[in-house]
């Protein structure tokens, strides 16, 4: 979150993200709860990667910067 704030791209994340003290991960055939608050004293923010990308692109546009995305063109099979 600090990095998003540093580039003026954190406001939407703060408004829309979910905050939680723990998460769970499935491994070894079972679900395991990981209490991040107990381990670090901090909460976890849930915010989609595409949302972060959108916020960063909008911050670049607002700053008058150009963004170029490169990729391969592929034909549908």
How far is the C-alpha of 57 from the C-alpha of 42, rounded, in Å? 28
Q: Convert the pLDDT of each residue in 34-49 to its tens digit.
A: 898 899 888 888 888 9
Mean pLDDT rounded to a whole number for the chain: 87
Q: Are 59 and 9 in contact (CB under 8 A)?
A: yes
Q: Is this model's pTM higher than 0.75 or not? A: no
Burial pattern 6-25, b for ≥16 Cβ within 10 A else e, equals eeebbeebeeebeeeeeeee
Give 24's contacts (C-beta < 8 A, 6+ positions apart): 31, 32, 33, 34
- pLDDT category at 74 given cuts 50, 70, 90 is confident
Q: Give the number of C-alpha atoms closer than 13 A to the C-alpha of residue 34, restricted to the C-beta side.
A: 11
């Amino acid at each position: 979150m600090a990095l998003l704030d540093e580039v003026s791209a954190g406001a939407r994340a703060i408004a829309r993200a979910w905050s939680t003290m723990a998460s769970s991960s499935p491994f070894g055939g079972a679900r395991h709860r990981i209490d991040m608050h107990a381990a670090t004293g901090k909460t976890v923010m849930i915010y989609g990667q595409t949302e972060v990308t959108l916020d960063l692109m909008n911050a670049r546009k607002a700053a008058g910067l150009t963004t170029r995305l490169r990729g391969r063109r592929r034909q549908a099979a």
